[in-house]
Amino acid sequence: MGSNQNLRELQWLLQMIKSESFNPQSISFYLSHRTSGCYQETENSVNINISEDSLSYFSNILSDLGTAKNIQSSLTNLEFHCVEWGLEQLVYLGILLQNSSNIKQLVFRLNRFNIECLSELCEVLKRNRVIKEIMISESGIGPVGAGLIASALKLNESLEELQIWEDSIGSKGAEELSKMIEVNSTLKLLTIFDSHPITAASLISAVLARNRAMEVHVWSGENGERSSKVVEFVPDNSTLRIYRLHLSGAVRVACSLGWNSTVKSLDMTGVRLKSRWAKEFRWVLEQNRSLKEVRLSKTSLKDKGVVYVAAGLFKNQCLESLYLDGNWFSGIGVEHLLCPLSRFSALQYQANITLKSVTFGGGKTKIGRDGLASIMQMLTTNESVIKLGIYDDESLGADDFVKIFKSLERNATLRYLSLQGCRGVRGDVVLDTIMQTLQVNPWIEDIDLARTPLQNSGKADGIYQRLGQNGKTELETDTDLFKDMPLTEPKSCRVFFCGQEYAGKTALCNSISQNFSSSKLPYMDQVRNLVNPVEQAVRTSGMKIKTFRDEGTKISIWNLGGQHDSYSLHDLMFPGHGSASFFLIISSLFRKPSNREPKTPAEIEEDLQYWLRFIVSNSRRALQQCMLPNVTIVLTHFDKINQPSQNLQLAVNSIQRVRDKFQGFIDFYPTVFTVDARSSASVSKLTHHLRKTSKTILQRVPRVYQLCNDLIQILSDWRAENYNKLAMKWKEFDELCQVKVPPLRIRSRHDNKGKVEMRRKAVAICLHHMGEVIYFDELGFLILDCDWFCSDVLGQLVKLDVRKQNSMENGFVSRNEVEKILRGSLQSQIPGMSSKVLENIEASDLVMMMLKLELCYEQNPSDPNSLLLIPSILEEGRGKPQRWQLSTADCVYAGRHLECDDSSHTFLTPGFFPRLQAISLSFLAPLILFYCCLCFHVKLNVCKNKGK
């Protein structure tokens, strides 16, 4: 009677399948029950039990499910328990899966497949585009089944999760799945439980080598042991955790990490490793660009293995944390480990600057004397490590830890020091040394003394109290940042001498210098600077600066070079941000000093208009202009005119026209000075004008920090103490502020260092605008001697010629080649003497400076080894047509004609065109318009000219 009832339930189920009212989402088949039947577990799920004497109903149900339209659209999950599959049943299942559009999950528990059935199932999977998850548990598919599934998934593009539980797929099955992983990019989760952990190596290696964003979990339970995880990789947190793996498997995993970009954290704690693995891992550290953290604690690494790891650190540029505690190496290993983190001379660079945290130590680690010396060297010279951990050390005594803490007095980088479990941290001497170190070093935030004798005796409480004494003060707001930095009237004014070549700027500067420094004797009215006729023809090289003192006011004359090759530098030194400065435009009344051929009024007007347009153009670009540029016009070689002439009157009229034209753009001094530049008597009135105008300008411009006036003397004293150094690195400026300048001092480790850094930069920028220093923020140094920099450095850089170098590639030259050219060009011509440029600035810094000043350009800014373009490669200059290095005679050039919107008052300055050429050759043409619009209102007229 019961049997008939069960059969009626299955018959009723078949009828319900054909009706439109039956829409289950999940169906589970159980073929292990003694009785048949079905029941609705939830509103959307149905369990179907089929006994051995009713197996034919299983095929009928699968067949009807495959043709029922309503079920095909609603069904999402299918589960099969204890099914022994036949080919006919798998065919029906294939039809069901092919017709159903929403089945996402397919589960097989304790099923049995023969080879024919597995092949049919895999053919179904090859065609299916809907199923997202397949789980096969304890179904005995073995290596052959794993291989068939792998072949199917090579073609399947929809499956995202594959789980194979407690099926011994073995190494062969794992290899087949690894080949599938190399092809399949849609699988997101792979979970394997196998009796042998050997399967993990090939699977995870394939995932890592192909950079798959696939979550992997491999479990193993060998010889009846309790199951445990072997490998785990979670892409969401980019962590690879290896719990246990044989040596060859670990080596294979290491090889796959070389070019991997998905793993950021590698944890192999407790996995026994040898030098063979470390040798492969060295290559990983040299090549990998994504690993941030590596944990190799308790891996039994000895000296040889640690030496390999340390060798990899020399080229590594990404790793931030390295844990090596609990290993078996000695002081030799410590010495090699810390070598890339140390410097051994002032001229040497620290090999690795990215590693921020390193730990080592343990009962079997013997640091010894060599290791101690390496630790002290690293702490004294390192500028990158933030956290250092020495764990459970038994080899170092109390005196050794005293030396370690003494070394910390000069370290401004380390924040966290952990000495937990170290037996040598004991006694009053160690305690006193730690307290003294904390008095000198404000940067240490935490010292971990857990399980040390000092902690166990209760004496560490004073250290923790000292670390917390400087409680976090209320952070300064941006408005309070400079509240204790009073403002005052600046005491430095710059005068820019502008003029074409042979205008007499240098002679005029010398005469003014005599008026500032010499006593006014009666006969001085008649004295002239006698200049050798040969010297008259020699033009000033580069930009010269002369400085004078006048009743507490510093006046510096910046003599802009008159040669065409220095025009592009004028933009760089143009004053801005409301700095105290004004201009003298100097024009000769004669074409050359060696003859008496006067300039026409048109030529004088052209000279004046060039410089006036230059001043207006750059003044519009400069920020925070608080007043119009102040300009005085000076005509030289007036002594060659015997009596007033009609030509002179015409020149005066043309000057008036120019002044009327630029009214509203320029603040002109009403008097036009006519002088003999060589005569101090002739320029006495002009000298008086410079003095008065300087004082007027200083009263009108914005005030500066009082601290800047104080720092001028402090910097002068620093130069005297440091053998008259001409350039100062930012680190040296930081140290000077910390020691000599209380308002710029970091008072405790809880001070907001970023705020103090901002104050220091603000002061450096202010000094830059005052003309006292030249400050490059991104380069990290200050130029203390502006005259030396403008004449010796920039004067030579602008003339740098790389056209004759054989290493040029399509007009570009390598960075190393540029550095080599710089060393050769700037080397002193006197044997045994070194160049002052190279004594103060390294060749690599000069290249960075050229990039900052736009004297050269990177072909690819995102590439640190990018080729460089130096605009001097292009033959161009004022008065010469543009000429490109092309040999083809029938070339046709298409370009854009750039013209300022207000071309009567502004123009594209000479410094613009090398940048424009460089941008064009660097294939950054879309940026040209952007660059122009930042500086000018530009009209673009497309033109097409041949040979131009």
- Amino acid letter, 826: L
Distance between CA atoms of 442 and 420, rounded to whole angstroms?
A: 22
Instruction: Provide the H-helix boundaries in 257-299.
Output: 275-287
When mean pLDDT is compared across 253-262, 335-344, 613-622, the lowest value belongs to: 613-622
Q: pLDDT-derived band of residue 727, with 50, 70 and 90 as boundaries?
A: confident
Name which of 704, 840, 729, 851 is nearest 782 in CA terms.
729
**Element holding 471 (H helix, E strand):** none
Question: Rounded mean pLDDT of the chain?
Answer: 81
What pLDDT score does 173 carry?
A: 92
The reported pLDDT for the residue numbered 13 is 80
Lowest mean pLDDT among 103-112, 288-297, 716-725, 921-930: 921-930
- pLDDT band with cut points at 50, 70 and 90 for residue 521: very low
Name the pLDDT band for 530 (thresholds 50, 70, 90).
very low
Q: Do 246 and 272 contact (CB within 8 A), yes or no?
A: no
Non-local (6+) Cβ contacts of 723 within 8 A are none
More confident residue, 932 or 27: 27
Higher pLDDT, 623 or 754: 754
User: Which residues 6+ apart lie within 8 Å of 448 measured at CB?
Assistant: 389, 416, 417, 418, 419, 420
Pair of tokens at residue 769: 């605008």
pLDDT band at 766 (very low <50, low <70, confident <90, very high): confident
Q: What is the mean pLDDT of residues 17-21?
A: 77
- The single residue listed with the structure tokens 């048949």 is 36
SS (H, E, C) 909-947: CCCHHHHHHHHHHCCCCHHHHHHHHHHCCEEEEEEEECC
Name the band, by pLDDT with cuts 50, 70 and 90, for residue 905: low
State mean pLDDT over 187-192: 94
pLDDT of residue 401: 95
| Percent of the chain clearing pLDDT 70 (strictly above) | 79
pTM above 0.75, yes or no: no
Q: Has residue 323 got a pLDDT over 70?
A: yes
Rounded mean pLDDT of 463-488? 63
Q: Which tens digits make up the pLDDT trace of 658-682?
A: 888 888 888 898 888 988 888 888 8
Name which of 91-95, 625-629, 850-854 the model is least confident about. 625-629
Position with higher pLDDT, 71 vs 236: 236
Give the orientation angle of helix 398-407 with respect to helix 368-381, to 10 degrees.
Answer: 20
Q: Convert the pLDDT of each residue in 738-760 to its tens digit.
A: 767 878 877 676 667 778 888 88
Q: Six-digit token pair at 907?
A: 């123009």
Average pLDDT on 256-271 reads 95
pLDDT interval class at 120 (50, 70, 90) = very high
pLDDT at 710 over 90: no
Length of the chain: 948
pLDDT for 543 beyond 80: no
Segment 575-591 shows an average pLDDT of 82
Q: Do 500 and 587 contact (CB within 8 A), yes or no?
A: yes
Rg (CA), the chain: 41
Most confident of 183-192, 694-703, 911-920: 183-192
Q: How would residue 932 be classed by pLDDT, with cut points 50, 70 and 90?
A: very low
Residue range 209-228: mean pLDDT, rounded: 83
Distances (CA, A) of 229 to 195, 218, 255, 327, 899: 11, 6, 22, 23, 71
- With bands split at pLDDT 50, 70 and 90, how would you rate the model's confidence at 551? confident
SS3 call for 752: coil
Position 781 pLDDT exceeds 50: yes
Segment 322-348 shows an average pLDDT of 92
Q: Measure the CA–CA gap between 35 and 2, rounded to whole angstroms.
A: 9
Is residue 296 scored above 80 in pLDDT? yes
For residues 275, 276, 277, 281, the Cα torsion angle rounded to the nearest 10 degrees is: 90
Q: In a 10 Å sphere around its CB, with 0-12 CB exposed, 13-18 middle and 19+ buried, how is residue 880 labelled?
A: exposed
For residue 4 the two structure tokens come to: 């008939």
pLDDT confidence of residue 77 = 94
Region of poorest pLDDT, from 360-369, 542-551, 878-887: 878-887
In b/e form, how buried is each residue of 351-366, taking b as 16+ CB within 10 angstroms?
Answer: ebeebbbbbbbbeebb
Using DSSP bridges, classify how beta strands 630-636 and 446-448 pair: parallel, antiparallel or unpaired. Answer: unpaired
Range scoring the smallest mean pLDDT among 605-609, 770-774, 796-800, 850-854: 796-800
